[in-house]
Amino acid sequence: MADGRPGNGKDLAVSRVDLQTFKKRIDDLLDRLNKSPAQHGKIGEQTITASSYGTGFAAAEDLAKSYETVRSRLERLSRAFGEQIEGLGIAVQITDKGYEGVETEQAERYQAIRRRAEEHYREPAQGAGSGAETTPTRDVNGGADGATSGTFS
């Protein structure tokens, strides 16, 4: 706080060059994610048929179900991660140009990313302290699975 009053914005002053450099780094991260095997669409393509684990015994079926659960969660995580990087890039532009200075499509995309993040956010458990503890999330079918995978479902 430059003059002791909260929210006056003076302590948030950043040069246009700094914002543009930061935006370029964000765009580079998003581009690298989209070209990598971790891109959510590519994760979705990495399926293994249940028969690949063998047939006629429960362990093979359990392994196939576990793989699909993990693959599905990784796909959702990758999509959320990519959207958060994209949203951060748009936020940098809004900081630089003002909300009215960005294209309507970008402003709408930013709001969609924000809403999607809010839909998936879970409050940490009471007394979570360091944030290392997690809360149960829904499984791919929407039921409680008792697994702990963080604060996003």
SS3 143: coil
The whole-angstrom separation of Cα 75 and Cα 81 is: 10
The whole-angstrom separation of Cα 119 and Cα 9 is: 29
pLDDT at 130: 54
Q: What is the CA radius of gyration of the chain?
A: 21
Q: Could you tell me if 54 and 131 are in contact, meaning their C-beta atoms sit under 8 angstroms apart?
A: no
pLDDT at 107: 92
CA 117 vs. chain centroid, Å, equals: 7
* pTM of the predicted protein model: 0.61
Q: Could you tell me if 10 and 3 are in contact, meaning their C-beta atoms sit under 8 angstroms apart?
A: yes
pLDDT at 124: 85
